[in-house]
Structure 1
Amino acid sequence: MAKKIKTLEAKPTLVTFCSKYFNLLLIFLILLFVFRPYNRSGVYIGIWQLCFIGVFISSIFNCRHHKSIKTLATAVAIPALLCNWFAHFYMITSLELTHLILTFIFICICVGSIISRVILNAKVTLETLRGVVCVYFMIAFGFSYLYLLIEYWVPGSFYFIEGIIKLPSNTILNHNHILSESIFYSFVTLLTIGFGNIHAISDIAQTATILEGMLGQFYIAILVSRIISVYSFYSHKDEVEPVAFSSDHEDHT
């Protein structure tokens, strides 16, 4: 009987955790980063694809979007996922390019919506902090797809991709390895670490790299500093108000 009661108590806790904004999205984003699409096996790539679908679903339903934004994101997400799966099975380049474009647009829509919610949120909560971290991950993933799209449009834009594309290997595994390297390059650029083992060669690739580096700096400098200032303001206000109330109460007595 006691075990049944514990089980019943645990279920609402799990449901509450999953229903909180940005919880599932953050988990899937971390899994998407950990299970980067290396050239290991079809099962490994399948796990990454499941996490990828989880990011799409949680980006729509686990975030606090306006109804119009949620509808727009859904309209972009469905064809993006369909093109992704059909491109893997039929190996059609046009489907893969469509998938890259729609995925980048989808990430831009979600990032813009989440940032507007985070900025407009007066009080800083755990939900706000989770949203900030999710946006940081999504910016990196968005630029990784942008880099891959640039390489398809302008072959040889990146040094590390130029050699990989010429390999006579399977198209799907080849694409996933390129995407894995793009994710690595995007996170390194966003964090402004700059290991130097991957080089942007073309003008458009260099411009995109500089833009991501600037976004990484401005994101931390502006958005995070604003969150800290708002948190400090409200925490100080909460400390002052009880003192003022107690002094007024003493005057009346």
Structure 2
Amino acid sequence: MPDTALFPRPRWRAFRHPSGWLLAVQLLSLLLYAQLGDVDTQDRRVLFSAIALVVVPLAVWVVRRSPSVNWIAWLLAAPAIALSVSAIAFDRPDLVVWSSLLESALYFYAAGSLISYMLHDHVVTTDELYASGATFTLVAWAFAYAYLVCQSWYPGSFTGAVDPERPRVWLELLFLSVSTLSGVGNGDIVPMLPQARVLVMLEQMAGVGYIAIVVSRVIGLSIVRRRE
């Protein structure tokens, strides 16, 4: 038999970086949303829920790789998946609101776990580089779900340049979330009610804190490692 020290067994290296898979799936979902066009509301809900069924378990997988309590993630993910399936099967759009609330909590929890995972030592690994990108998308998705819940509970929370009186669709709220978190602030989707403005301000502070604490730390440690 060959010596395993000289001939190590091949591994699926991709599965060693669940943060990379999560980041890839969420970026791919953006391309899928872009292909929706002017489809009806039912199709939007089906695709929205189908993507959630993929992304939510990936978020739980990411939490499991970090030093966090995994059962909390599953406690949030399981009913979120069940509510998404029920919303499609029974044509109950009101269930999407509660599913979105749970998914928002799950993404915030997963993002916090990834931040803890990145800050637990002073070495920047490949997985932590993927985790820094995945954390950004998790926070952006979490606030987008929070915006969706806010709009459902407080109608008129957001307005936009196109059809200002109608509720904002999911992609518009995600666009607002990414713009706010990144500090771009394009401004074509605007919070109107106090509840919505508070959420936007919280995301602005989260974006500044993420860049100041996480991104700057990853860049600094990468520079130190290269010099060494």
TM range (shorter): 0.7 to 0.9
Match status 1:190 vs 2:184: no
Contact kept, 8 Å, 1:69 with 1:109, in 2: the verdict is no
Question: Which residue does the alignment assign to 2:97?
Answer: 97
Cα distance, 1:33–1:69 mapped onto 2, change above 3 Å: farther
Question: Which residue does the alignment assign to 1:40?
Answer: 39
Cα distance, 1:136–1:88 mapped onto 2, change above 3 Å: same
Question: Which residue does the alignment assign to 1:18?
Answer: 15
Contact kept, 8 Å, 1:114 with 1:135, in 2: the verdict is yes
- Deviation sequence 1:89-124 (CA, Å, 0-9, x none): 323354222212111111111011111001113211
Paired amino acid for 1:65? S
User: Which segments of 5 or more consecutive residues in structure 2 lack a partner in the other structure?
Assistant: 1-9
Q: CA deviation at 1:28?
A: 0.9
Q: Distance in 2 between matches of 1:48 and 1:98?
A: 14
Question: Which residue does the alignment assign to 2:126?
Answer: 126
Alignment: residue pair count: 214
Q: Which has the higher helix share?
A: 1
Cα distance, 1:153–1:109 mapped onto 2, change above 3 Å: same
Counterpart among 166, 170, 173 of residue 164 in structure 1: 166
Moved more, 90-99 or 222-231: 90-99
Cα distance, 1:87–1:162 mapped onto 2, change above 3 Å: farther
Question: Which residue does the alignment assign to 1:75?
Answer: 75
Contact kept, 8 Å, 2:77 with 2:102, in 1: the verdict is yes
Question: Which residue does the alignment assign to 2:212?
Answer: 221
Contact kept, 8 Å, 2:33 with 2:171, in 1: the verdict is yes
Q: Distance in 1 between matches of 2:98 and 2:206?
A: 25
User: Which segments of 5 or more consecutive residues in structure 1 lack a partner in the other structure?
Assistant: 1-11, 166-176, 239-253
Contact kept, 8 Å, 2:159 with 2:166, in 1: the verdict is no
Question: Which residue does the alignment assign to 2:66?
Answer: 65
SS in structure 1 opposite 2:189? Answer: coil
Paired amino acid for 1:158? F
Q: Distance in 1 between matches of 2:134 and 2:39?
A: 27
Contact kept, 8 Å, 2:29 with 2:51, in 1: the verdict is yes
SS in structure 2 opposite 1:121? Answer: coil
Question: Which residue does the alignment assign to 2:139?
Answer: 139
Look at both structures and tell me which one has the larger radius of gyration over its CA atoms.
1
Cα distance, 1:29–1:197 mapped onto 2, change above 3 Å: same
